[in-house]
């Protein structure tokens, strides 16, 4: 087995948050990290010993092809230890109000882009007996109202990961899923900004149906994130998932994730609906008739 400084790891979505933390942790452990970013400014901020930023918009086939070529033509001929599919985006909106363009955007970034990157680097992973690490979410196991598009993409990522794990296991390539709960990252803040924009664009009738619900979701997400793990703690778990000798098939990040990802297996749907509604109820605006 090669030592860490002789191996590459590719990770997408490293501009901020868990991705940046995982990239820095892997570089600290001695790997040469190809850190995917979407903008040159983010590359400049991230560049460090062992950290090589690469432009990687996972919805751009040309950039995916360029990164795959960078791996196969590595000057030091280092094998690819792992690809970590971490890039993501989120917007909270009721199914009725979310545009079809935004539905497609959610799936392009949170699912199809990861499939495309994985397919592009699988030849290198076959050659190295490497690993695929897919960053999912508790939203890939249990979905709150307004998380339909994000959760749908994460459910798809979970299903694809199961299929891929069973396809690749006979050939020595491992597939691991990481399911974070509350983590203090910038993505939650971006999602809250978009949710507020959705509220502002609602018609009076839509606001009557969904305004209180969406405000409760915003309040809950804010509290959930504030009490969550720091990105560095999540980064260490992701780094472990990519590098330990015998990884689990799934890792949760945070106590909340460990609990919530098990609820769908333990509770009937109607009971789970009531549990989630009760947890959301305190976050509704005062005097709002919360019936969610």
Question: Which residues are identified as catalytic?
Answer: 150
Q: What SS3 class is residue 1?
A: coil
End-to-end Cα spacing for the chain = 53
Do residues 90 and 187 touch, judged by C-beta distance below 8 A? yes
How far is C-alpha 285 from the chain's CA centre? 29
The answer to whether the beta carbons of residues 32 and 52 sit under 8 Å apart is: yes
Indicate the DSSP class of residue 231.
Answer: H
What stretches of the chain show up as alpha helix (H) in DSSP?
17-28, 40-46, 61-72, 100-107, 113-128, 148-168, 186-201, 204-226, 231-243, 255-260, 263-266, 269-280
- Name residues whose C-beta falls within 8 Å of residue 30's C-beta, 6 or more positions apart in sequence: 3, 4, 5, 50
């Amino acid at each position: 087995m090669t030592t860490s400084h002789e191996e590459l790891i590719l990770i997408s979505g490293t501009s901020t948050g868990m991705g940046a933390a995982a990239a820095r942790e892997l570089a600290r452990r001695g790997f040469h990290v190809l850190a995917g970013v979407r903008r040159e400014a983010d590359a400049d901020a991230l560049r460090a010993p062992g950290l090589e930023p690469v432009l990687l918009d996972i919805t751009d086939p040309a950039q995916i092809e360029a990164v795959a070529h960078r791996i196969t033509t590595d000057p030091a001929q280092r094998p690819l230890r792992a690809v970590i599919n971490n890039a993501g985006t989120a917007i909270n909106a009721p199914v009725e109000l979310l545009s079809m363009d935004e539905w497609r955007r959610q799936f392009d970034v949170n699912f199809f882009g990861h499939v495309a990157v994985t397919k592009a680097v699988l030849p290198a992973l076959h050659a190295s007996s490497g690993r695929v690490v897919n960053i999912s979410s508790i939203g890939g196991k249990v979905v709150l109202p307004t998380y339909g598009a994000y959760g749908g993409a994460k459910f798809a990522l979970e299903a694809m990961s199961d299929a891929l794990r069973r396809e690749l296991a006979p050939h020595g390539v491992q597939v691991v899923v990481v399911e974070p709960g509350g983590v203090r990252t910038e993505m939650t803040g971006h999602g809250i900004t978009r949710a507020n924009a959705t509220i502002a664009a609602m018609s009076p009738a839509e606001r009557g149906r969904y305004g209180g619900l969406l405000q409760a979701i915003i309040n809950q997400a804010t509290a959930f994130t504030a009490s969550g793990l720091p990105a560095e703690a999540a980064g260490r778990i992701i780094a472990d998932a990519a590098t330990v000798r015998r990884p689990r098939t799934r890792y949760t990040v945070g106590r909340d994730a460990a609990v919530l990802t098990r609820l769908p297996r333990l509770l009937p749907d109607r009971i789970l609906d009531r549990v989630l509604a009760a947890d959301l109820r305190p976050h509704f605006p005062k005097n709002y008739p919360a019936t969610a």
